[in-house]
Structure 1
Protein backbone atom coordinates (compact mmCIF):
# COMPACT_ATOMS: atom_id res chain seq x y z
CA UNK A 1 0.00 0.00 0.00
CA UNK A 2 1.41 3.38 -1.07
CA UNK A 3 0.66 6.74 0.55
CA UNK A 4 1.18 10.28 -0.69
CA UNK A 5 0.42 13.68 0.86
CA UNK A 6 -0.46 16.60 -1.42
CA UNK A 7 -1.33 20.22 -0.80
CA UNK A 8 -4.88 21.40 -1.61
CA UNK A 9 -6.72 24.67 -0.95
CA UNK A 10 -8.52 22.87 1.91
CA UNK A 11 -5.52 21.35 3.64
CA UNK A 12 -3.23 18.41 3.10
CA UNK A 13 -4.80 15.45 1.33
CA UNK A 14 -3.68 11.94 2.22
CA UNK A 15 -4.07 9.43 -0.63
CA UNK A 16 -3.58 5.68 -0.15
CA UNK A 17 -3.78 2.92 -2.70
CA UNK A 18 -2.07 0.21 -4.68
CA UNK A 19 -2.29 -1.44 -8.08
CA UNK A 20 -5.96 -2.33 -7.31
CA UNK A 21 -6.90 1.34 -6.96
CA UNK A 22 -7.14 4.19 -4.50
CA UNK A 23 -8.81 3.12 -1.25
CA UNK A 24 -8.53 6.29 0.83
CA UNK A 25 -8.47 10.04 0.29
CA UNK A 26 -8.81 12.18 3.38
CA UNK A 27 -8.09 15.75 4.34
CA UNK A 28 -5.84 16.71 7.23
CA UNK A 29 -5.31 20.08 8.84
CA UNK A 30 -1.65 19.92 7.94
CA UNK A 31 1.01 17.43 7.04
CA UNK A 32 4.31 17.09 5.29
CA UNK A 33 3.88 17.16 1.51
CA UNK A 34 5.39 14.16 -0.28
CA UNK A 35 8.45 14.83 -2.41
CA UNK A 36 7.72 11.89 -4.73
CA UNK A 37 4.48 10.38 -5.95
CA UNK A 38 4.26 6.57 -6.21
CA UNK A 39 3.38 5.33 -9.69
CA UNK A 40 0.11 3.78 -8.43
CA UNK A 41 -1.11 7.19 -7.21
CA UNK A 42 0.06 9.49 -10.03
CA UNK A 43 -3.31 9.52 -11.84
CA UNK A 44 -5.21 10.28 -8.64
CA UNK A 45 -2.87 13.14 -7.72
CA UNK A 46 -3.07 14.59 -11.23
CA UNK A 47 -6.88 14.44 -11.34
CA UNK A 48 -7.34 15.87 -7.83
CA UNK A 49 -5.05 18.78 -8.71
CA UNK A 50 -7.03 19.34 -11.93
CA UNK A 51 -10.27 19.37 -9.90
CA UNK A 52 -8.95 22.11 -7.61
CA UNK A 53 -7.71 24.08 -10.63
CA UNK A 54 -11.26 23.97 -12.01
CA UNK A 55 -10.28 21.76 -14.95
CA UNK A 56 -11.90 18.46 -13.95
CA UNK A 57 -15.49 17.52 -13.15
CA UNK A 58 -15.25 13.71 -13.16
CA UNK A 59 -12.59 11.37 -11.84
CA UNK A 60 -11.41 8.42 -13.93
CA UNK A 61 -8.55 6.90 -11.92
CA UNK A 62 -8.98 3.39 -10.49
CA UNK A 63 -10.84 3.38 -7.17
CA UNK A 64 -11.07 0.60 -4.61
CA UNK A 65 -12.94 1.88 -1.53
CA UNK A 66 -13.43 -0.52 1.37
CA UNK A 67 -16.91 -0.77 2.88
CA UNK A 68 -20.05 -2.85 3.27
CA UNK A 69 -22.25 -3.65 0.28
CA UNK A 70 -24.76 -1.04 1.48
CA UNK A 71 -22.07 1.63 1.87
CA UNK A 72 -20.77 0.89 -1.62
CA UNK A 73 -24.32 1.18 -2.99
CA UNK A 74 -24.65 4.64 -1.39
CA UNK A 75 -21.20 5.72 -2.63
CA UNK A 76 -22.10 4.58 -6.14
CA UNK A 77 -25.27 6.72 -5.97
CA UNK A 78 -23.17 9.70 -4.84
CA UNK A 79 -21.11 9.36 -8.02
CA UNK A 80 -24.31 10.00 -10.00
CA UNK A 81 -24.85 13.48 -8.49
CA UNK A 82 -23.81 15.90 -11.23
CA UNK A 83 -20.96 18.34 -10.70
CA UNK A 84 -22.30 21.64 -9.41
CA UNK A 85 -25.59 20.11 -8.18
CA UNK A 86 -26.78 19.08 -4.73
CA UNK A 87 -29.30 16.54 -3.46
CA UNK A 88 -30.93 16.09 -0.05
CA UNK A 89 -30.36 13.06 2.17
CA UNK A 90 -34.09 12.35 1.80
CA UNK A 91 -33.95 12.45 -2.00
CA UNK A 92 -30.88 10.21 -1.96
CA UNK A 93 -32.74 7.71 0.23
CA UNK A 94 -35.71 7.79 -2.16
CA UNK A 95 -33.38 7.30 -5.11
CA UNK A 96 -31.95 4.21 -3.37
CA UNK A 97 -35.48 2.85 -2.94
CA UNK A 98 -36.14 3.26 0.79
CA UNK A 99 -37.17 6.60 2.27
CA UNK A 100 -36.97 5.05 5.77
CA UNK A 101 -33.25 4.33 5.29
CA UNK A 102 -32.36 8.02 5.53
CA UNK A 103 -30.24 7.56 8.69
CA UNK A 104 -28.40 4.58 7.23
CA UNK A 105 -27.80 6.53 4.02
CA UNK A 106 -26.50 9.52 6.00
CA UNK A 107 -24.23 7.20 8.01
CA UNK A 108 -22.82 5.58 4.85
CA UNK A 109 -22.35 9.04 3.37
CA UNK A 110 -20.32 10.02 6.44
CA UNK A 111 -18.09 6.98 6.09
CA UNK A 112 -17.13 7.80 2.51
CA UNK A 113 -13.39 6.99 2.24
CA UNK A 114 -12.77 8.93 -0.98
CA UNK A 115 -12.97 12.63 -0.09
CA UNK A 116 -14.10 14.86 -2.99
CA UNK A 117 -13.91 12.03 -5.54
CA UNK A 118 -17.08 10.38 -4.20
CA UNK A 119 -18.92 13.68 -3.76
CA UNK A 120 -20.59 13.34 -0.36
CA UNK A 121 -20.24 17.12 -0.07
CA UNK A 122 -23.08 17.43 -2.60
CA UNK A 123 -25.61 16.02 -0.11
CA UNK A 124 -27.43 18.65 1.95
CA UNK A 125 -30.40 18.89 4.31
CA UNK A 126 -33.95 18.88 2.93
CA UNK A 127 -34.21 22.55 3.88
CA UNK A 128 -31.11 23.41 1.85
CA UNK A 129 -28.84 23.66 4.89
CA UNK A 130 -25.30 22.37 4.95
CA UNK A 131 -25.34 19.49 7.40
CA UNK A 132 -22.96 16.75 8.42
CA UNK A 133 -19.53 16.87 6.84
CA UNK A 134 -16.56 15.06 8.37
CA UNK A 135 -14.12 17.60 6.93
CA UNK A 136 -15.97 20.51 8.51
CA UNK A 137 -18.89 22.52 7.15
CA UNK A 138 -16.58 25.30 5.96
CA UNK A 139 -14.93 22.77 3.58
CA UNK A 140 -18.33 21.55 2.38
CA UNK A 141 -19.35 25.15 1.62
CA UNK A 142 -16.04 25.77 -0.17
CA UNK A 143 -16.50 22.66 -2.35
CA UNK A 144 -20.10 23.51 -3.25
CA UNK A 145 -19.08 27.08 -4.10
CA UNK A 146 -16.10 25.77 -6.13
CA UNK A 147 -18.44 23.60 -8.21
CA UNK A 148 -21.18 26.18 -8.58
CA UNK A 149 -21.31 27.15 -12.28
CA UNK A 150 -22.97 30.48 -11.45
CA UNK A 151 -20.33 32.48 -9.66
CA UNK A 152 -21.71 35.45 -7.74
CA UNK A 153 -20.39 38.67 -9.23
CA UNK A 154 -19.69 41.76 -7.20
CA UNK A 155 -21.27 45.07 -8.19
CA UNK A 156 -18.32 47.24 -7.18
Structure 2
Protein backbone atom coordinates (compact mmCIF):
# COMPACT_ATOMS: atom_id res chain seq x y z
CA UNK A 1 0.00 0.00 0.00
CA UNK A 2 1.33 3.36 -1.00
CA UNK A 3 0.61 6.39 1.17
CA UNK A 4 0.46 9.80 -0.38
CA UNK A 5 1.94 12.77 1.50
CA UNK A 6 -0.72 15.38 2.23
CA UNK A 7 0.70 18.71 3.56
CA UNK A 8 -2.79 19.86 4.61
CA UNK A 9 -2.91 16.98 7.08
CA UNK A 10 0.11 18.48 8.86
CA UNK A 11 -1.42 21.95 9.01
CA UNK A 12 -4.48 20.92 11.01
CA UNK A 13 -2.54 20.07 14.23
CA UNK A 14 -0.39 23.23 13.85
CA UNK A 15 -3.53 25.39 13.46
CA UNK A 16 -5.09 23.75 16.50
CA UNK A 17 -1.94 24.39 18.55
CA UNK A 18 -1.93 28.08 17.54
CA UNK A 19 -5.61 28.47 18.41
CA UNK A 20 -5.10 26.90 21.85
CA UNK A 21 -2.02 29.03 22.58
CA UNK A 22 -3.90 32.24 21.60
CA UNK A 23 -6.66 31.36 24.07
CA UNK A 24 -4.07 30.97 26.80
CA UNK A 25 -2.78 34.53 26.43
CA UNK A 26 -3.29 36.79 29.45
CA UNK A 27 -6.02 39.37 29.01
CA UNK A 28 -5.02 42.83 27.84
CA UNK A 29 -4.31 45.05 30.87
CA UNK A 30 -6.55 48.03 31.47
CA UNK A 31 -4.78 51.36 30.98
CA UNK A 32 -3.11 52.87 34.03
CA UNK A 33 -5.26 55.38 35.90
CA UNK A 34 -4.19 57.82 38.61
CA UNK A 35 -6.74 59.20 41.08
CA UNK A 36 -6.00 62.72 42.34
CA UNK A 37 -7.61 63.98 45.56
CA UNK A 38 -7.32 66.92 47.98
CA UNK A 39 -5.40 69.16 45.55
CA UNK A 40 -4.44 72.64 46.79
CA UNK A 41 -1.65 75.22 46.45
CA UNK A 42 -0.60 77.65 49.16
CA UNK A 43 -1.33 81.34 48.58
CA UNK A 44 1.84 83.23 47.69
CA UNK A 45 3.51 85.33 50.31
CA UNK A 46 3.88 89.07 49.65
CA UNK A 47 6.84 89.71 47.34
CA UNK A 48 7.33 86.01 46.48
CA UNK A 49 6.73 84.34 43.12
CA UNK A 50 6.95 80.71 44.30
CA UNK A 51 4.61 78.38 46.14
CA UNK A 52 4.01 74.71 46.87
CA UNK A 53 1.12 72.52 45.73
CA UNK A 54 -0.10 69.39 47.44
CA UNK A 55 -2.43 66.45 46.72
CA UNK A 56 -2.75 62.70 47.08
CA UNK A 57 -2.07 60.44 44.09
CA UNK A 58 -3.21 56.81 43.87
CA UNK A 59 -2.22 54.81 40.78
CA UNK A 60 -4.05 51.68 39.59
CA UNK A 61 -0.70 50.19 38.45
CA UNK A 62 2.90 51.06 39.20
CA UNK A 63 3.44 54.42 37.57
CA UNK A 64 5.43 57.63 38.02
CA UNK A 65 4.53 61.33 38.11
CA UNK A 66 7.05 62.69 35.61
CA UNK A 67 6.01 66.34 35.33
CA UNK A 68 3.41 68.99 36.07
CA UNK A 69 2.49 72.13 34.16
CA UNK A 70 0.78 75.39 35.10
CA UNK A 71 0.52 78.19 32.52
CA UNK A 72 0.95 80.90 35.17
CA UNK A 73 4.45 79.74 36.19
CA UNK A 74 7.81 79.91 34.42
CA UNK A 75 8.73 76.49 35.80
CA UNK A 76 7.05 73.63 37.67
CA UNK A 77 9.13 71.05 39.55
CA UNK A 78 8.41 67.88 41.53
CA UNK A 79 10.30 68.16 44.83
CA UNK A 80 11.17 65.95 47.76
CA UNK A 81 12.05 67.06 51.26
CA UNK A 82 14.78 65.25 53.16
CA UNK A 83 16.44 65.83 56.51
CA UNK A 84 20.22 65.48 56.67
CA UNK A 85 22.15 66.30 59.84
CA UNK A 86 19.08 68.02 61.26
CA UNK A 87 18.69 70.26 58.19
CA UNK A 88 15.65 70.02 55.93
CA UNK A 89 16.60 70.12 52.27
CA UNK A 90 14.41 70.47 49.22
CA UNK A 91 15.49 69.02 45.87
CA UNK A 92 13.91 68.38 42.51
CA UNK A 93 13.17 64.76 41.61
CA UNK A 94 14.57 64.73 38.05
CA UNK A 95 13.18 61.23 37.37
CA UNK A 96 9.77 62.04 38.85
CA UNK A 97 7.88 60.54 41.77
CA UNK A 98 7.24 56.77 41.93
CA UNK A 99 3.58 55.79 42.43
CA UNK A 100 3.29 52.17 43.66
CA UNK A 101 0.10 50.42 42.54
CA UNK A 102 -2.85 50.96 44.89
CA UNK A 103 -0.82 53.01 47.38
CA UNK A 104 -1.92 56.56 48.24
CA UNK A 105 1.14 58.81 47.77
CA UNK A 106 0.69 62.11 49.60
CA UNK A 107 2.28 65.33 48.40
CA UNK A 108 2.15 67.43 51.56
CA UNK A 109 3.78 70.34 53.36
CA UNK A 110 7.15 69.20 54.72
CA UNK A 111 7.23 66.26 52.29
CA UNK A 112 7.08 65.64 48.57
CA UNK A 113 5.31 68.43 46.71
CA UNK A 114 4.96 70.30 43.42
CA UNK A 115 6.75 73.66 43.31
CA UNK A 116 5.51 76.55 41.15
CA UNK A 117 8.41 78.90 40.31
CA UNK A 118 8.30 82.31 38.64
CA UNK A 119 4.57 82.91 39.03
CA UNK A 120 3.26 85.62 36.70
CA UNK A 121 0.87 86.85 39.43
CA UNK A 122 0.28 86.14 43.12
CA UNK A 123 -2.07 83.33 44.10
CA UNK A 124 -4.77 84.45 46.54
CA UNK A 125 -6.72 82.23 48.91
CA UNK A 126 -9.96 80.99 47.35
CA UNK A 127 -8.73 81.17 43.74
CA UNK A 128 -8.94 78.09 41.55
CA UNK A 129 -6.39 77.07 38.95
CA UNK A 130 -5.83 74.21 36.56
CA UNK A 131 -2.66 72.12 36.50
CA UNK A 132 -1.75 69.27 34.14
CA UNK A 133 -0.04 66.22 35.60
CA UNK A 134 1.91 63.93 33.29
CA UNK A 135 2.60 60.30 34.16
CA UNK A 136 4.87 57.65 32.74
CA UNK A 137 1.94 55.35 31.84
CA UNK A 138 -1.40 56.96 32.71
CA UNK A 139 -2.92 59.61 30.48
CA UNK A 140 -2.24 63.26 31.39
CA UNK A 141 -4.60 64.49 34.10
CA UNK A 142 -6.05 68.00 34.30
CA UNK A 143 -6.54 68.72 38.01
CA UNK A 144 -8.50 71.64 39.43
CA UNK A 145 -6.62 73.07 42.37
CA UNK A 146 -7.90 75.45 45.04
CA UNK A 147 -5.57 78.04 46.59
CA UNK A 148 -5.77 77.51 50.36
CA UNK A 149 -3.73 77.30 53.54
CA UNK A 150 -2.93 73.77 54.72
CA UNK A 151 -5.25 72.47 57.43
CA UNK A 152 -3.86 72.88 60.93
CA UNK A 153 -2.74 69.64 62.59
CA UNK A 154 -5.41 68.06 64.80
CA UNK A 155 -5.27 69.17 68.41
CA UNK A 156 -4.71 66.53 71.07
CA UNK A 157 -6.33 68.52 73.87
CA UNK A 158 -3.00 69.62 75.30
CA UNK A 159 -1.59 66.11 75.44
TM-score strictly above 0.5: no
Please tell me the TM-score bracket, short chain as reference: under 0.3
Structure (1/2) with the larger helix percentage: 1
Instruction: Using CA pairs under 8 Å that are at least 6 residues apart, name the structure with larger relative contact order, 1 or 2.
Output: 2
TM-score normalised by structure 1 residue count: 0.24
TM-score normalised by structure 2 residue count: 0.24
Which one has a bigger Cα radius of gyration?
Answer: 2
Structure (1/2) with the larger strand percentage: 2
